[in-house]
Amino acid sequence: MRYIDDSVVMKRMKTRLNRNKGWKALFLTGTLFALLCLVILLVRIVTQGVGYLDWDFITNFASRRPENAGIKAALVGSIYMMCIIAPVSMILGVATAIYLEEYAKKNKINDFIRMNISNLAGVPSIVFGLLGLTIFVRALALGKSLLAAGFTMSLLILPVIIVAAQEAIRAVPQEQREASYGMGATKWQTITRVVLPAAIPGILTGSILALSRAIGETAPLVVIGIPVILRFLPDGLLSEFTALPMQIYDWAKRPQEEFLYVASAGIIVLMLFLVIMNSIAIFIRNKFSKRY
């Protein structure tokens, strides 16, 4: 210890502490700036849209007059579309993740598949809209229907769910699988009774984020030609419909200033829809987290 100069040590420690304080202040500033922008956006939306948000707004169809405009067709259409997207994307996504993690062999072909699935999660949504237009709208002749839109949006969020499910399944300790095999369970019994229950919190976390993205996407719906104004409700899977993002987009681009307030009211409804949907998923996730 005699060979260590205390003054040099204290000088270096002071430099490191000052550097740490500088980075801390920078990160705190960035966080506060993002929160400030979010608060300003929310305050503006609420103050502009709360005046138009009433029961008539929920139960009325779209109108050329802002005071009579409603969101009934768009709200029902979004709910129906999510009823297609959620089961299709989650069943296919989890099944794909189970195969890749539990059954597929470790070779270059499967590694190439995994890499491309991860890359698809970052592809712009309009590309999936073009894919849906080519396959579902034209090739399969589904038209501008609920089914075509649901399948298109399922393709959009499918890579995100697959990657999240893979990470959740991979995080289950190998010792749990070996203990299940030691008790005489088959591979499928081990997956369904040991791996999946333990991985459900992680799977639901990724699914929540993916479904939240799907409910707010506009570009794929524009590409496949979903109408912006309808005065009737969908009566089947092949029926035409409109969705909340399309309705809000139409109101926001109109020249009348009153429609901007109507669009803000629509955004509030969309955010409430997201909060309710995410709350249900978080409740299910927490329930499984406590159990496993």
Average pLDDT over residues 101-120: 87
Residues 207, 201: Cα–Cα separation, whole Å: 10
Q: Which DSSP string corresponds to 51-106? A: GG-SHHHHHSPP-SSGGG---HHHHHHHHHHHHHHHHHHHHHHHHHHHIIIIIS-S
pLDDT surpassing 80 at residue 117 = yes
First CA to last CA distance, the chain: 51
Q: What is the pLDDT of residue 3?
A: 61
User: Under DSSP, is residue 186 helix (H, G, I), strand (E, B) or coil?
Assistant: coil
pTM for this structure?
Answer: 0.84
3-class secondary-structure state, position 240: strand
Residue-averaged pLDDT of the chain: 88
| pLDDT of amino acid 2 | 54
Q: Where are the domains of the chain?
A: 6-52, 57-288
Count CB neighbours of 134 within 10 A. Answer: 13
57-288 belongs to which CATH class?
Answer: mainly alpha
Whether 208 contacts 282, CB under 8 Å: yes
Residue 5's pLDDT is 66
> pLDDT over 90 for what percent of the chain?
33
